[in-house]
Structure 1
Amino acid sequence: MSAYRRGDAVLEALAARVARAPAQLPAAAVDAVGRCLVDTLAVSLGALQHPAARLARAYARLNQMGGGARVWGTQLVASMDVAALVNGVPLRAYDYNDLYIGKSGGHPSDVIPGLIALAEARRKTGEQLLACIALAYDVNMILLDEIDIEAHGWDYPNLIGIGATCAAAKLLGLSEKQTAEALAIAAVSQLASDEVESGDLNERGDLTMWKRFNGSHAIRHALYCATLAEVGIEGAVRPFQGKTAFLSKFAMSPAAVQALVQKLQGPVEPDRAAMTTFKRWPVGSRAQSAIRAALAVRQRVGDPSTIRQVVVRCDQDAYNHLLARRADPWNPSSRETADHSLPYIVGSCLLDGSLGVESFDPERVRADGRLAFIRKVVTIEPDAEHTQGAARGFLASVEVVTMDGARHVEPAQAPPGHPSRPFTAADVAAKFRENVEPVYGDASTARILELALNIHSAPDVCGLTAALVLDGDGQA
């Protein structure tokens, strides 16, 4: 029996799963993970000018060093853990990266910027990087499936950080015992509260900026834990199943813990990244079906001035998340209150015939007549028939009545990017160009996309990260 086995079956199962994870991926997994990588870069690079991302880079400038990892968009090189934090912030800037929902919901792609930083600093190959991203998705989806953290006031980075620790241990080539120690440190040294999802607004009328950091902070911590274990530092004896350990925070029953262990002891599934949900529009997943329906109706109606009434019938969870729990969803005044307001989101689709990052610019949100139109014509109703949850894509239908009495109804469908309507390779490339070209221009965007699509055969990731430099002074 290995020396690390200390009566914590979850710890043992996780460490063994990392040891069993393949170093080379089958073609289907390379394709699935590669799409996640391209989508992550699309979202991150398109958000480099977000205020939180700019402040994160200011922090990186205080922590420059040689031989670390590139801060995306700049000439700066920082320690790999700082780069993991900073490069992950724009990924969460516009709520635009992928999502997976089981008993808990989370964003599996949060791990990707951090693992790129680790691969760059340690000169790992593109093939090794993809294999470890696949492992992170595999572990994270099991944890999200089996652990309900939100009901107990905790946030999803607690789970994503465990998967990231597994992936970092694999990428560093740690032994099974070292991997167990990395996990034993990670599980007890950070717990993220769900207070960032409280809906409380700051003095500017925004949601907390820390929400943009919360995921990448957990990934940074995972790299830190893995490198501590690499040099021989040991963690808690029973980090998951001890009296006050990780799982005790979520009130899991013995049967639920046993089910988790059995899942972790099962076959490693390196292609689970194909089960993630991509977002076509830069708002949370619970609004995606409503956006699809609203844009389809808008095409048929044409002139929005002819609209007399709009009725949105939606999934109960979408209603709760984007209307009922918000302080004043009919009167958003900032980007983050607007992109968490289902009335504003649907109204913008109907007014503009499109929805993008620019739809939530504060000047547009507060433009004369915009909110008056939305308050006058848009009605939102939770609907039992549409309440089928994440598995069906948080369904919503949209009915528009025009001034002449004509009714235009778009029935509920899962949105593009949902596993039931997955993005094609062309869809992923189109999203990449749509987000990155305004920042990098056509030629650089094409070069970055080419490097990302071929990362599996690259001797390292340095060519990709070097292509992300925007200018010579590092002031992206």
Structure 2
Amino acid sequence: MTTLELAEFVQATDYEDLSPDVRDALKRRVLDSVGIAVAAEVADPTQVVFETVRDLETDGACTLWGRDGDGASPVQAAMHNTALTRYLDYMDSFLAPNETPHPSDNVGAVVAAGEYADRSGEDLLAGLAVAYEIQGELAWNAPVRDRGFDHVTHTVVSAAAGASKLLGLDLEETRNAIGIAGTAHNALRVTRTGGINEWKGIASANAARNAVYSAMLAKNGMEGPRDLFEGQKGWQDVISGAFDVDLTPGERVHDAMTKRYVAETYAQSAVEGVIELAEREDLDPDDIAGVKLETFAGAKLIIGGGEGNRYEIDNRAQADHSLPYMLAAALIDRDLSLEQYEPDRIRREDVQELLRIVDVSEDSELTERFENGEMPAVIDVTTDDGTTYRIEKEAFHGHPLDPIGWEGLEAKFDAIAGEHLEDDRRDELVETIRTLEDQDVADLTALLE
């Protein structure tokens, strides 16, 4: 894998190279991201990002989504808008055996670069295809989690590539942008271990900002390491190890899943399963003696206790990375949406007591099944009278094995954005995104002010 190889892929990929299925899938990724962003505008951490952007800039060519006409540079817009698409932990995920990044983290950066450069919707789709493909290939072939790096280490590279496409950089400028981004901005895994805090939901926004800044530097003549990946003490030597990629015009977008529930990626099947079990057996939470989840290695590691205590839950950032909390809340409420992450709900006695009798264990067979493309979960709920109820899942609705189409995504969009946008604005956004190849990037961002 060489830095030139990535830059050549960016240069070679245009809208005409994308299959109709890839174009459609990318548009659905945009709709999902926009809906999540609208709902995240009122969150305290995203407000902190907005206030910081306002402290640094008072005007600019790019729209700050949801901020009533406020503008900023593409760099700061990428930070702000990515914070919105990412913070609620409701975004898409790419499922690789040893890494699970969120390729929608690229959307804010690529849109900002496209708005700044006055690009078309076709250009935007090409840039998103580039970013999704690179993010997926890095996750699959060069996982960094076990080496102590966060998955946004991939994002800064993929977003820099997508931004370079929209900014119209030539081959050497693109190579420089990727070199700067990947050399200077490698994030540590400590973001998601131990006592998790709100930076978890903002780290990818920081990566998106750094990606666009790297591309802007390259656009204006800054040279970067030409051998980011292959050079001595470069990315492969220090971070990932040697690897190769097989780049296609955006086909990796089909490996991105849509979250059905507001929960960490690896929890989706388990949450869906416990809700189905609670409804099927009409379980009374007061009668539960124990909950046992058998899951795969990654879920146990990240949200089941392998990277820190997942039973001491006091805030949103801890709750959406705790299988015990998510299963307890879903069993009690028979839902796991934004309401289950309100501070009062998190701290309520019923869920705090139930989460402590949730046992999470890894099953090697389930790990093998996950590595072969499923997201399996086996859940046993035992009641006070000794009866045990079981449900087994191989995937969830939204997984690539059971994808959510336009109808489901529009329903999700209406559910999370409904209280923030009038019906006609939602309808206009959906139609603009559905026909993105006939629009300009500015047509989309004008609806996000």
Shorter-chain TM-score bucket reads: over 0.9
Q: CA RMSD in A?
A: 2.1
Query: Higher mean Cα deviation, 102-111 or 350-359?
Result: 102-111
**CA deviation profile, 1:39-91 (whole Å, cap 9, x unmatched):** 11122211111111011111122244545111111121011110000111122
1:241 has 2:233 as partner: no
Question: Which secondary structure does the structure 2 equivalent of 1:408 belong to?
Answer: strand
Sort the Cα spacing of 1:23 and 1:300 in 2 relative to 1 into closer, same or farther, 3 A: closer
The worse-fitting range, judged by mean Cα deviation, of 442-451 and 432-441 is 442-451
- Equivalent residues in 2 for 1:299-318, closer than 5 Å: 299-304=279-284, 305-318=286-299
Q: TM-score normalised to the size of structure 1? A: 0.87
Distance 1:386 1:65, change over 3 A: same
Aligned match of 1:29: 22
On the 8 A contact 2:193/2:307 being kept in 1, the answer is no
Q: For 1:4-19, what aligned pairs fall within 5 Å after superposition?
A: 10-19=2-11
Q: Which position in structure 2 is the counterpart of 1:277?
A: 257
Change (3 A) 1:375 1:191: closer
Deviation beyond 6 Å, 4+ runs, structure 1? none
1:292 aligns with 2:284: no
Quick one: which of 301, 319, 323 aligns to 2:304? Answer: 323
Residue deviations 1:380-438 (CA, integer Å, cap 9, x gap)? 33333332336444321222344555543221220111111111211111111111112
Q: Distance in 1 between matches of 2:316 and 2:136?
A: 30
Alpha-carbon distance, 1:372 to partner? 2.0
Report the AA paired with residue 217 of structure 1.
Answer: N
1:328–1:17 CA distance, 2 compared to 1 (3 A): closer
Aligned to 1:127: 122
What displacement does 1:276 show?
0.7
Match of 2:330 in 1: 349
TM-score, normalised to structure 2's length?
A: 0.92
The amino acid that maps onto 1:312 is L
**CA deviation map 1:25-44 (0-9, x unaligned):** 33111101011111111222
> Would the aligned equivalents of 1:91 and 1:110 in 2 still touch at CA under 8 Å?
yes
Q: CA deviation at 1:296?
A: 0.5
Query: Map of 1:174-189 to 2, 5 A cutoff?
Result: 174-189=169-184
Aligned residues of 1:111 and 1:219 also touching (Cα < 8 A): yes
1:447 aligns with 2:439: no
| Contact 2:3–2:226 (CA under 8 A) maintained in structure 1 | no
Q: Note the residue ranges of structure 2 that are not aligned, 5 or more in a row.
A: none
- Look up the match of 2:353: 372
Which digits, 9 at most, give the CA deviation of each residue in 1:91-143, with x for residues without a partner?
22122211113343311111101111111121111111011101111122111
Structure 1: distance between partners of 2:359 and 2:21: 43
> For residue 48 of structure 1, what is the aligned residue in structure 2?
41
CA distance in 2, matches of 1:355, 1:289: 12
Match 2:408 to one of 427, 432, 445: 427
Which 10-residue stretch deviates more, 45-54 or 187-196?
A: 187-196
The equivalent residue for 2:392 is: 411
Q: How does 1:180-259 map to 2 (within 5 A)?
A: 180-200=175-195, 207-250=196-239, 252=241, 256-257=242-243, 259=244
Output the CA distance in 1 between the equivalents of 2:293 and 2:381: 9
Output the CA distance in 2 between the equivalents of 1:195 and 1:328. 14
Could you say what secondary structure the match of 2:314 adopts?
coil
Choose 1 or 2 for highest CA Rg. Answer: 1
Q: Which residue of 2 aligns with 1:467?
A: 447
In structure 2, C-alpha distance between the alignment counterparts of 1:190 and 1:71, rounded to whole Å: 23
Q: Does the 8 Å CA contact 2:59/2:70 hold for their aligned counterparts?
A: no
- Cα distance in 1 between the residues matched to 2:277 and 2:422: 33
Q: Which stretch shifts more, 110-119 or 391-400? A: 391-400
Rounded Cα–Cα distance in structure 2 between residues aligned with 1:230 and 1:336: 37
Kindly provide the amino acid, as one letter, of the partner of residue 216 in structure 2.
Answer: T
Residues 36 and 84, structure 2, Cα contact 8 Å, conserved in 1: yes
3-state SS of the aligned residue for 2:15? coil
Task: Give 1:97's aligned residue.
Answer: 91
In the aligned structure 1, how far is the partner of 2:374 from the partner of 2:86? 20
Q: Secondary structure at the match of 1:282?
A: coil
Corresponding residue of 2:315: 334
Counterpart in 2 of 1:473? none
Q: 1:112 and 1:151 mapped to 2: Cα distance? A: 26
Residues 64 and 451 of structure 1: CA distance in aligned 2, closer, same or farther (over 3 Å): farther
The separation in 2 between residues aligned to 1:332 and 1:67, in whole angstroms, is 40
Offset at residue 463 of structure 1 (A): 2.7
| Cα offset, 1:11, TM superposition | 1.6
Q: Percent identity?
A: 27
Shift of 1:342: 1.1
| Contact 1:334/1:365, CA 8 A, preserved across alignment | yes
Q: Which runs of 5+ in 1 are unaligned?
A: 1-8, 201-206, 470-476
Q: Which amino acid is 1:382 matched to?
A: E
